[in-house]
Structure 1
């Protein structure tokens, strides 16, 4: 198993040799600030760049068209008047990272409770919260790809799916006005990779191995997207 001696090395090894990283993190403290800042920055930058690049009048028309059937003319006009590129730019760049912080806090609570089946597990809530930033590291790859798409695009009528270039929605060409866009946009390579990292980390931090580790790691995602899909089909 590779010896990990510093957080920067851990940030690269997490993609290739996660077992060694998690084995080191089990007895190391304060390294999670590095992936925290990397994930937060790479969550904010693509959205900030996108809303500064996209033809806002075009995207505004697309957004309004997707909901106008349920609105009165006055409501439609009010919606148009309230929309601005700067609001979307700042809102998504700030709101995205805040959502990740909250989601990771919930995941940490889930992991701290789910791993209590191992009576020898000594990791507390804050340990698992730090853990979630390491399992979120694949997000920075998606962020880098998204930024590459945005800065190289020659058409300002760029669909929001470009912000999730590894998602099912982007790969399958599901438009953001499609009823299944939100669901398909959430199913992406980073999510699957994070499940793998979570299972690897659980197996290193606890005596929970194999299928049980995978079950704990995958259960929230499978449950959320399964219920979401079921409601859409009703």
Structure 2
């Protein structure tokens, strides 16, 4: 296995030799707990740091304008009251982000498990693919590190979370959560394309599927999602 004898080595080697890593992981499915915890760390740390950094009074007003822009003043006040506790809101967000990744990994694993059944030699089941997905999620940790660095060097503490994600197209276009185009721009992120690269490499190692079939399995859903985002962006822009 070319010197990869433990999951910590695999987490380092995946950035420059993912082919060897996925070959090793195919024999050691229990290694996937390590990238799971690394990804969770990459999600939790920047979220915690952000809510220690941000002007929470400003954030409350921003959040209300974003989520309740067209409601009555009494309803806006009710939303503001619900955001009174900074710590409760922070921890609820941290929990929601973690749960979101757990559910997303399950959906992707179920999809890969179903689509790779055409390979008669493939014996991997849902739990194997679930572990596989966490290796492909490792670029999320890089995004988390970048966000932490942005928080450390940022002077303005009246900044949305989206304003701390320089690996996203939306950041370079100057968008934030209130923009009608943010859903579309969010489909173009460095970590997302790195994850696609890891998935392609991993599928080539774990299956005997042709490269064309692998591309179809991975990119058809992505194209549909981007197409839906384009439609919705134009719809809301013209509304």
TM-score range (shorter-chain normalised) is over 0.9
Contact persistence 2:122–2:206 (CA under 8 A): yes
Q: Determine the structure 2 residue equivalent to 1:145.
A: 146
Contact persistence 1:2–1:20 (CA under 8 A): yes
* Cα separation, 1, equivalents of 2:95 and 2:222: 24
Q: Determine the structure 2 residue equivalent to 1:62.
A: 62
Shift of 1:71: 0.3
1:34 aligns with 2:34: yes
1:173 aligns with 2:174: yes
Q: Deviation above 4 Å: which 4+ runs of structure 1?
A: none
1:102-181 paired onto structure 2 within 5 Å? 102-181=103-182
1:100 aligns with 2:108: no
1:71 aligns with 2:71: yes
Contact persistence 1:139–1:190 (CA under 8 A): yes
* Cα separation, 2, equivalents of 1:46 and 1:221: 26
Contact persistence 1:50–1:163 (CA under 8 A): no
* Cα separation, 1, equivalents of 2:136 and 2:164: 20
Shift of 1:137: 0.6
Contact persistence 2:119–2:208 (CA under 8 A): yes
| Root mean square deviation of aligned Cα | 1.7
Give the gaps of 5 or more residues in structure 1.
Answer: none
Shift of 1:56: 1.2
Deviation per CA, 1:64-92: give whole Å up to 9, x if none: 22344420111111111111322331122
* Cα separation, 2, equivalents of 1:169 and 1:91: 25
TM-score using structure 2 length:
0.91
* Cα separation, 2, equivalents of 1:164 and 1:182: 14
Shift of 1:229: 2.3
Shift of 1:139: 0.6
Which has the larger displacement, 123-132 or 157-166? 157-166
* Cα separation, 2, equivalents of 1:150 and 1:55: 12
Deviation per CA, 1:6-44: give whole Å up to 9, x if none: 111100111111111111111223100100100011111
Contact persistence 1:199–1:216 (CA under 8 A): no
Contact persistence 2:14–2:21 (CA under 8 A): yes
Q: Structure 1 residues 136, 164: CA separation in 2 closer, same or farther (over 3 Å shift)?
A: same
Contact persistence 1:138–1:190 (CA under 8 A): yes
Deviation per CA, 1:145-188: give whole Å up to 9, x if none: 00111122222112221443311111221122111224323431
* Cα separation, 2, equivalents of 1:211 and 1:2: 28
TM-score using structure 1 length:
0.93
